[in-house]
Structure 1
Amino acid sequence: MVRAQHTLSNLTLAVYVLQAVALVTGIGALIGLAINYLKRDEVRGTIYDSHFHWQIRTFWGTLAGGVVGWVSMWMLVGFVLLFILFLWYLYRIVKGFLYLNAGKPMPV
């Protein structure tokens, strides 16, 4: 049981790292999302369930915000929206990592 918890913790950490890597490459977020959906049943009932939910919402929220930002760039407001989206994404990665490191579930 302890080994399984350690494995889930490492998997959750890996997704946070992939999301952080996505700030540079973009592809990490897709890999992280795939992990979240493929391993979702394994984390059910643990603190990692809330982290997976947080990570999934981070991905989809960022994608939606990115679309709005890119579409509105012609009005110049898109640049501001994309910058705010970048800060929001970074905040969610850092907050998730800090909660994971403290062994706490994410507030959902």
Structure 2
Amino acid sequence: MNDDIIEVRAVDQATLDGLNAWGWVSYVLHLIVAITAVLPGAQVSVAVLLIALVIDLVKRSDAVGTWHASHFTWRLRSMIWAGILYVVTAPLWLLFFVPGWIAWCVISIWFLYRIVRGMIAMNKQQPLPV
């Protein structure tokens, strides 16, 4: 049996429209966080990221069996990895300012890439690799 095959379930258009709307809200919140993370003094509250996390966790079960499911997984994995990388590199800020800033810029650019890539796939109504 091929594990790459995704079982698709029948979903009404209203559910798909709702998943699409929530997906865009989440992507925009992630985008705001990713962009402001590299701008000195422009960091937004962690609350913005937490709101996106809650949206993705709550609505993820509604997306099972649709192409939207891969987007919820994509956003959650992106945020978890970015969070881990930010925490791991945080000591660089305490030891040396410049290496910490460079590390966080690289992480933020990677996070921004993931969000933009997801937004492009969402606009094309295509799933992402999971």
Matched, 1:44 2:64: yes
Matched, 1:83 2:83: no
Q: Which residue of 2 aligns with 1:10?
A: 21
Overall identity of the aligned pairs, in %: 29
Q: Which has the higher helix share?
A: 1
Q: Which amino acid aligns with 2:65?
A: G
Q: CA RMSD in A?
A: 1.3
Choose which of 91, 95, 98 in structure 2 pairs with 1:71. 91
- Post-superposition shift, 1:78? 2.3
In our comparison, the structure showing a higher alpha carbon Rg is 2
Q: Which residue of 2 aligns with 1:62?
A: 82
TM-score when scaled to structure 2?
A: 0.77
Gaps of 5+ in 1: none
TM-score when scaled to structure 1?
A: 0.91
Given that 2:67 and 2:127 are in contact with CA atoms closer than 8 Å, whether structure 1 keeps it comes out as: yes
C-alpha separation in 2, matches of 1:71 and 1:34: 28
Once structures 1 and 2 are overlaid, which stretch shifts more, 68-77 or 98-107?
68-77
- Stretches of 4+ aligned residues off by more than 6 angstroms: none
Choose which of 11, 31, 36 in structure 2 pairs with 1:20. 31
**Aligned residues between the structures:** 108
